[in-house]
Amino acid sequence: MLGVARGASDEDIKKAYRRSAMKHHPDRNPDDKSAEAAFKECKEAYEVLSDGGKRRMYDQHGHAAFEHGMGGGNAAPGAADMGDIFGDIFGNIFGGAGGGRGPRRGADVGYVMELDLEEAVAGVEKRIELPTLAECAPCRGTGSEDGKLETCDTCQGRGQVRFQRGIFSMQQPCPHCQGRGKTFRTPCRECHGNGRVEEEKVLSVKIPPGVDSGDRIRLSGEGEAGPAGSTPGDLYVEVRVRAHAIFERDGDDLHCEVPIRISQAALGDSVRVPTLGGEAEIRIPAETQTGKVFRLRDKGVKSVRSRGVGDLYCKAVVETPVNLTSDQRRLLEEFEATFNSDNARRHSPRSSTFVDGVKGFWERMTG
């Protein structure tokens, strides 16, 4: 949509957005629905590519990364609404605030929710508390103590003023009534005429199964209340999955380390390993070395964007025994005595390769 290469810098993306948005801006294309749609697409593209987390998701999953409300909707957590983004770029040209079509909506709110891996995989419902701006109850968001409102003399109730700047005809929210179109004489004592008050909001948030760190859930209308006559902002809940004691997640797959004894590695054995759905068994073949990976199909995670289930990869780690008894130490000493320079290469292939590599290294250094 913006016409930039995959490796474009942030500055290149911003320049491309500025060019494209100016081309399709509704003020320059009145009554052109296709231009209006293109302008919205420009804003959505810029929102994704200017956010590091969203850009990585887009590079990996494409448009599918933002289905199911997981891509962050129309704004990033903690960021201003799209009117602010637009106003930042076009403020000096069009008067800011996206052309100023009426009172600005309430600000979006970001909230970071930490989950255990089990909660993220299975889905969970969480109760959260967050400070926000809510509509003032005594004045019902009008800001007026007696509820009496008058038509703004500056904008004649339209909520916006238009003026000419060069070749452009520009409009912006009325500076007198802040885009409301109405004014009052006596400000509300509760909110001091702002129409909004600070309060602690309690919400129940449903987290779908399969979410991962960086995923965002949009709760429409649960952000800050807007000025009188405008809509509230949205709440964006960003998921962060805590580090797990056993598993490490990589997309739909899980990874873990399975410690095994020297005897199990040398002779072979069956060991039980944990999965998210219970226990599973893997067969350790004789002469297994540290680092060998065993794959258990469909024992991973079903992501919110995937149809199938990932796999579980178990890496064998041969563990050196500790706290040996005298009998165990004696047996190991007898076992070690069976090795000599003649059979070392046959019994310890990696050690022999290492020794040969060291000899070659010193020969090159001294040569």
- Listed by start position, the domains of the chain span 1-94, 102-149+184-242, 248-320
Domains 102-149+184-242 and 248-320 share a fold: yes
Which of 180 and 73 is assigned the larger pLDDT? 180
> Residue 318, class by beta-carbon neighbours within 10 Å (0-12 exposed, 13-18 middle, 19+ buried)?
middle
| Predicted confidence (pLDDT) at residue 60 exceeds the cutoff of 90 | no
Which of 339 and 325 is assigned the larger pLDDT? 325
Question: Once rounded to an integer, what is the mean pLDDT over residues 11-38?
Answer: 78
Which of 332 and 30 is assigned the larger pLDDT? 332
Q: Which range is most confident: 79-83, 181-185, 280-284, 353-357?
A: 280-284
| Predicted confidence (pLDDT) at residue 68 exceeds the cutoff of 90 | no
Label residue 340 by pLDDT band (50, 70, 90).
confident
Which of 103 and 82 is assigned the larger pLDDT? 103
> Residue 25, class by beta-carbon neighbours within 10 Å (0-12 exposed, 13-18 middle, 19+ buried)?
buried
| Residue position matching structure tokens 């474009």 | 8
Single-letter residue type at 236: Y
Q: Please provide the CATH number assigned to the domain covering 248-320.
A: 2.60.260.20
What backbone torsions phi and psi does residue 26 show, to the nearest 5 degrees? -55, -30
| Predicted confidence (pLDDT) at residue 72 exceeds the cutoff of 70 | no
Q: State residue 79's pLDDT score.
A: 38
Question: Once rounded to an integer, what is the mean pLDDT over residues 209-231?
Answer: 86
Distance in angstroms (rounded) separating the CA atoms of residues 312 and 254: 5
Using alpha carbons only, how large is the chain's radius of gyration in Å? 32
Exposure string over 244-253, b if 16+ CB within 10 A, otherwise e: eeebebeebb
Dihedral angle at the C-alpha atoms of 143, 145, 148, 154, nearest 10 degrees? Answer: -40
Question: Once rounded to an integer, what is the mean pLDDT over residues 159-173?
Answer: 72
Distance in angstroms (rounded) separating the CA atoms of residues 340 and 355: 14
Q: Please provide the CATH number assigned to the domain covering 102-149+184-242.
A: 2.60.260.20
Q: Are 121 and 246 in contact, with CB atoms under 8 Å apart?
A: no
Instruction: Indicate the range of 96-110, 201-215, 272-286, 315-329 predicted with least confidence.
Output: 96-110
Q: State residue 168's pLDDT score.
A: 66
> Residue 48, class by beta-carbon neighbours within 10 Å (0-12 exposed, 13-18 middle, 19+ buried)?
buried
Dihedral angle at the C-alpha atoms of 293, 296, 299, 303, nearest 10 degrees? Answer: 70
CATH T-level assignment (fold) for domain 1-94: Helix Hairpins (1.10.287)
Exposure string over 99-119, b if 16+ CB within 10 A, otherwise e: bbbbbbbbbbbbbebebebeb
How high does pLDDT run on average in the chain?
80
Distance in angstroms (rounded) separating the CA atoms of residues 206 and 68: 13
Q: State residue 353's pLDDT score.
A: 66
Which of 345 and 310 is assigned the larger pLDDT? 310
Question: Once rounded to an integer, what is the mean pLDDT over residues 296-306?
Answer: 91
Label residue 240 by pLDDT band (50, 70, 90).
very high
Vertex 118: Cα angle to 117 and 123 (nearest 5): 105
